[in-house]
Copies of this chain bind each other. A is one copy, B any other.
Amino acid sequence: MPKNNLLEKITALCKRRGFIFPSSGIYGGIAGIYDYGPLGVALAKNIKDLWWQDMVEKRTDMYGLDGSILMHPRSWEASGHVAGFTDPLVDCGDCQKRFRPDKLEGWKLKKDNQTGQFRVIKTGSLKCPVCGGRLIAKVRQFNVLMETSLGAIEGEKMKAYLKGESCQNIYLDFIDIVNSFSPKLPFGIAQIGKAFRNEITLGKFIFKTREFEQFDIEYFTRPQDSTRFYREWKKIRWDWYRKRLGLKEKNLRWRQHDEDERIFYAKDAWDIDYFYPWGWDELEGVHDRSDYDLTQHAKFSGKKLDIPDQETNQRIVPFIVECSGGVGRTMLAVLLDAYREEEGTNGIRVFLSLDVKIAPYKVAVFPLLANKAELIKKARSVYENLKDHFRVTWDEIGNIGKRYRRQDEAGTPWCVTIDYQSLKDEMVTVRDRDTMAQKRLAVARLADFFKKKLNS
């Protein structure tokens, strides 16, 4: 399968089939903001529910959280985002294009160990890769936090920031959760939530957007245990993408942050990368963050954020292992991994070979003809019988060929057609998305047949 135009093909399929639309599309859209349509919201929900079950519900050491988007401005001073959450740029003086220096040949980001800020240094060519023009060495920095005002009355307004990263609620509510649940170390707090950034460079579909959703785990350990649990979480998160989501091994890799890239307080930092159409790029960061976050918030809030170590009875500030992934990036990786083109007798067949666990619909039910009451009635009873067990869709638009094509692109694993023969023999045609194999099955056996497939 060619990687050529793959991103464009996925983008077009997502709009055509109702996975993802540009937001505010009838008003011309807004760069870097997307809406999830009927299939997108189903796929995203399946991915998020799977993460939530595996990371929160089935573990005794994890606590869920859903924190607000609007947060106190002091939180972002403590986190360093107000001062330091910046994206250094390189501008072309001729074509006015902007570049991130760490993605631009001949330039490099270098950490200032004093301030934790990044500077830009030149290491080679200074030509603009787009027009060959003159790159401007004077690098500007910008704050990417989005700001708003609370309070309806002028003169009484209070500044607030939209979350720049979802994890911050976890640090702020850490002590509330400790007070409510008295958990023993190690334990974790997990959240799925939206965050907002005025990114400088957008594009690449839903890879980098101004409004995005993250899943975050902050796992709190005794300081001496953090390295051990860091290793453990690296394995858990890798296995989740590989085995639970079923992403292909060849499209996943570990990449360690080098000294210059790593934030100054982090003990170690690795990313799980995915092989996107433009090359390897981030899917999730798994970082060993020391006690920096809690210590900063303790300092800025004046509140004690240390807790008793139940083994020594000493009060300690726990170390944090962080696993922070993007819902949109995961969805993009899942779509890319599942995209198939197959030469057939009627031209190229496109289908999404999604893992059945996360496919938006598990089964599509078709009455052979949309204007025959007896077929509709029978198909309806099949639909009603299946829909209590798993997500089923109903499709009566166009001919069967068109419906297969639509469900192939929706990633629906099985289509069930009710025809005139069904009225006589109580059998229906079940068609498989990946193999296109068709077989006749008894209506009475359908639910069990699919349940077995879904649980295997």
Interface residues of A (CB under 8 A from B): 15-18, 21, 23-30, 33-38, 40-42, 44-45, 52, 57-58, 60, 63-72, 74-75, 87, 142-144, 146-153, 158, 160, 162, 169, 172-173, 175-177, 180-182, 194, 196, 198-200, 210-211, 297, 300-301, 303, 305, 383, 387-388, 391, 393-394, 397
Contact A35/B65 with A18-B177, A24-B75, A211-B70 known, Cβ cut-off 8 Å: yes
Q: Is there contact, CB below 8 Å, between A69 and B172? A: no
Residues of B with C-beta under 8 A to A16: 180
Contact A66/B151 with A24-B72, A26-B175, A301-B27 known, Cβ cut-off 8 Å: no
Q: Is there contact, CB below 8 Å, between B173 and A27? A: no
Chosen A-B contacts, 11 in total, with CB atoms closer than 8 Å, are: A16-B180, A17-B180, A24-B72, A26-B297, A27-B300, A36-B66, A38-B181, A41-B64, A57-B391, A143-B152, A147-B149
Least CB separation from A393: chain B residue: B60
Least CB separation from A160: chain B residue: B30
Instruction: List the number of copies, as a whole number.
Output: 2
Residues of B with C-beta under 8 A to A69: 69, 194, 196, 211
Residues of B with C-beta under 8 A to A33: 68, 70
Q: Is there contact, CB below 8 Å, between B149 and A301? A: no
Shortest beta-carbon distance, A110 to chain B, in Å? 21
Contact A180/B18 with A26-B297, A35-B66, A41-B65 known, Cβ cut-off 8 Å: yes
Residues of B with C-beta under 8 A to A180: 15-18, 37-38
Contact A35/B147 with A173-B21, A303-B26, A391-B57 known, Cβ cut-off 8 Å: no
Q: Is there contact, CB below 8 Å, between A24 and B172? A: yes
Q: Is there contact, CB below 8 Å, between A394 and B60? A: yes
Q: Is there contact, CB below 8 Å, between A74 and B27? A: yes
Contact A210/B70 with A18-B180, A173-B21 known, Cβ cut-off 8 Å: yes
Contact A152/B144 with A27-B75, A38-B181, A211-B68 known, Cβ cut-off 8 Å: yes
- Cβ-neighbour of A66 out of B27, B40, B72, B75 (below 8 A): B40
Q: Is there contact, CB below 8 Å, between B26 and A38? A: no
Least CB separation from A305: chain B residue: B26
Least CB separation from A360: chain B residue: B64
A72 to B158, CA, bound (A): 24
- Cβ-neighbour of A63 out of B17, B38, B57, B303 (below 8 A): B38
Shortest beta-carbon distance, A164 to chain B, in Å? 12
A172 to B176, CA, bound (A): 40
Contact A34/B68 with A152-B144, A176-B15, A198-B150 known, Cβ cut-off 8 Å: yes
Q: Is there contact, CB below 8 Å, between A38 and B297? A: no
Q: Is there contact, CB below 8 Å, between A198 and B66? A: no
Q: Is there contact, CB below 8 Å, between B68 and A173? A: no
Q: Is there contact, CB below 8 Å, between A150 and B64? A: no
Shortest beta-carbon distance, A80 to chain B, in Å? 15
Q: Is there contact, CB below 8 Å, between B151 and A72? A: no
Least CB separation from A78: chain B residue: B27
**5 closest A-B pairs by CB:** A18-B180, A24-B72, A142-B152, A27-B72, A60-B394
Q: Is there contact, CB below 8 Å, between A72 and B28? A: yes
Given contact pairs A70-B196, A152-B199, a sample of 18 additional A-B residue pairs in the complex whose CB atoms are under 8 Å apart: A23-B68, A23-B72, A23-B172, A24-B72, A24-B74, A27-B75, A27-B172, A33-B68, A37-B177, A38-B63, A57-B387, A60-B393, A69-B69, A70-B210, A87-B152, A147-B149, A162-B162, A194-B194
Shortest beta-carbon distance, A275 to chain B, in Å? 27
Among A42, A142, A144, A180: residue with most chain B CB under 10 A: A180
Least CB separation from A22: chain B residue: B176
Among A35, A177, A196: residue with most chain B CB under 10 A: A35
